[in-house]
Amino acid sequence: MSWSTAPDGTVPARPQLGEVPVYSSALASAVPVRLRASSNEAPDGLSPAVRDAVLDRLERPNRYPVLGGIDLIRALADRLDADPAEIAVADGSLSLLNYLLLSHVAPGARVVIPWRSYEAYPICVLTAGGEPVRVLNRADGGHDVEAMISAVDERTAGLILCSPNNPTGVGLTHQEVAEVLLRVPRQVLVVLDEAYLDFDDRADRPRARELVAAHANLVLLRTFSKAYGLAGLRVGYGLGHPDVITAVRKILPPFPVSALSVAAAIAALDDEAHREAIVARVRAQRSAVLDMLTAAGIPASATHANFVWMPLGPRSAALGALCADAGISTRVFEGEGLRLSLGEPGLVAALAEVLPRFAAS
């Protein structure tokens, strides 16, 4: 038997990985970051209740967590008035998306994704062996729902929706998601990524629980990384039909979330006041920043998330550089726009210095 190796003698990786970019978010700057506005995190995460729960569990690191994160699943089921069979948990909603694609997308099958959207989507689809089909957003940064529906064909196994969308912040309406579910075939898995749900205060935002009850091919993805302030502990969950959840649980590792993270997430679910404080701070900053942008004549999309998107095209890098010089890290999408995460205390005052300079340049 002869073994094949890559040309340079290294172990050959799966050929499909050749076209997969490595996820990156770093923005280099000579000035140290004073205000972190590049990763859509919550500025402060640790509530006393979460600290106590984690420290308590830390006493028993020698013991495995409960199998399948079922203690967290039960707490979520209680909270969401759902059956535990409808919920799966993992180390972040992004992991869960990977597992869902592995459980439902056969090699070579297509997955329709909005674009621009969360940059991990095409990577997840490719690493699962599928083919991402990008559908460009409308000019206002919202998903082009009609075009996404039209992109579905007999080779399509999945379709991803993101509401509010990262990085534009524009949310889908209930009617738009309902329309997708009515018109795409029932064998297409529809994933509604609601990472930024808590910051969305629109009356017509998707009533996703209602849609899950009516459509067995819909799965919601939610996370403790944003409004719960637990990004570093990595906890997310999916809610969908028990058949879909059973399939994804076959792929999940037996202990998909660490014991410390489970303890933190359960305590965070009970600590409504802490989550509400994070959300209130973000919403207040969001309207202050949008007002400042309007005053400075800088375009911004209608965001309902914990970040603001400025579609500045070729001028995006210049604003990113001015922010970096002021110690504010942002996320620049070269030639497209700049995303600024909200919530850091002092951000509004710092922007009050930077934005007029940019507007005058």
Ligand X SMILES: Cc1ncc(COP(=O)(O)O)c(C=O)c1O
Contact set with ligand X (CB under 6 A): 40, 92-94, 118, 162, 166, 193, 195, 223, 225, 231, 236
Nearest approach, Cβ of 97 to ligand X (angstroms)? 7
Specify the residue, 53 or 221, whose C-beta has the smaller distance to ligand X. 221
Instruction: List CB contacts of 100: < 8 A, sequence separation 6 or more.
Output: 189, 191, 219, 238, 244, 248
> Shortest approach of ligand X to residue 38 CB, angstroms?
11
Nearer to ligand X, 225 or 354 (CB): 225
Q: What angle do CA 172, 315, 332 make, to 5 degrees?
A: 55
Nearer to ligand X by C-beta: 118 or 309? 118
Spatial separation of the C-alpha atoms in residues 148 and 156, rounded to whole Å: 11
Q: Residue 165 CB: number of other CB atoms within 10 A?
A: 28
Of 75 and 292, nearer to ligand X (C-beta) is 75
Residue of minimal CB distance from ligand X?
Answer: 92
Question: Locate tokens 């990156």: which residue?
Answer: 24
Q: In angstroms, give the least distance from the CB of 339 to ligand X.
A: 10
Closer of 103 and 225 to ligand X (Cβ): 225
Q: Give the whole-angstrom CA distance, residue 151 versus residue 271.
A: 42
Q: Looking at residue 57, what DSSP letter applies?
A: H
The CB-of-182 to ligand X minimum distance in angstroms stands at 24
Helix (H), strand (E), coil (C) string for 264-304: HHHHHHHCHHHHHHHHHHHHHHHHHHHHHHHHHCCCCCCCC
Name the minimum Å distance from CB 266 to ligand X.
Answer: 16
CB of 9 to ligand X, least distance (A): 35
Report the C-alpha gap between 56 and 59 in whole angstroms: 6
DSSP string, 125-169: HHHTT-EEEEEEPPTTSS--HHHHHHH--TTEEEEEEESSPTTT-
For residues 223 and 258, which CB has a smaller minimum distance to ligand X in the complex? 223
CB of 59 to ligand X, least distance (A): 27
By C-beta, is 192 or 347 nearer to ligand X? Answer: 192
CB of 307 to ligand X, least distance (A): 9
Q: Nearer to ligand X by C-beta: 266 or 354? A: 266
- Pairwise CA distance, residues 85 & 93, whole Å: 17
Which residues are 308's β-sheet partners?
340
Residue 86, exposed/middle/buried by CB under 10 A (0-12, 13-18, 19+)?
buried
CA–CA separation, 237 vs 258, rounded Å?
14
